[in-house]
């Protein structure tokens, strides 16, 4: 059964860089069928797509975050990572990693449990 687990600091200072890693177990991140993605959810608000990456390193980013986001993949560790630079309080959210979309650009499934990142000094 495929499982994803986010890890990283729960507290980041304003203007610094948020860094998270998603570890995939029960399946290979080198799958040719799927991308791997990040989605966030500010407290009490809805879901926002951040970006996705293919095992080859090909990426798509949310245009509203593109200037600050970098997603990378480490196939040897079966992990992919998120970096978000110059964070502000507005970046406080639960960050989820998920498998997907597939190469036909569809849904995200399954999701990790999520990790809360708070931006505060």
CB of 76 vs other proteins, minimal distance in Å: 26
- Please say which residue, 14 or 57, places its beta carbon nearer to other proteins: 57
Specify the stretch interacting with other proteins by CB under 8 A; choose among 19-27, 46-54, 69-77, 80-88: 46-54
Residue 46 interacting with other proteins (CB under 8 A): yes
In contact, 85 and 17? CB cutoff 8 Å = yes
Binder of other proteins out of 17, 72, 75, 113 (CB under 8 A):
113
Residue 48 interacting with other proteins (CB under 8 A): yes
Residue 3 interacting with other proteins (CB under 8 A): no
Site string for other proteins, 57-76 (x = CB under 8 A): ---x-xx-------------
């Amino acid at each position: 059964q495929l499982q994803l687990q986010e890890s990283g600091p729960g507290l980041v200072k304003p203007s610094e860089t948020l860094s998270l890693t998603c570890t995939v177990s029960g399946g290979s991140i080198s799958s040719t069928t799927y991308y791997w993605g990040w989605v966030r959810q500010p407290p009490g608000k809805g879901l926002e797509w951040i970006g996705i990456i293919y095992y080859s390193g090909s990426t798509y980013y949310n245009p509203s975050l593109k200037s600050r986001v970098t997603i990378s993949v480490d196939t040897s560790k079966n992990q992919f990572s998120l970096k978000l630079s110059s964070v502000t309080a507005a970046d406080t959210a639960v960050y989820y990693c998920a498998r997907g979309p597939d190469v036909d650009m569809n849904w995200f499934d399954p999701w990790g449990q999520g990790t809360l990142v708070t931006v505060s000094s």
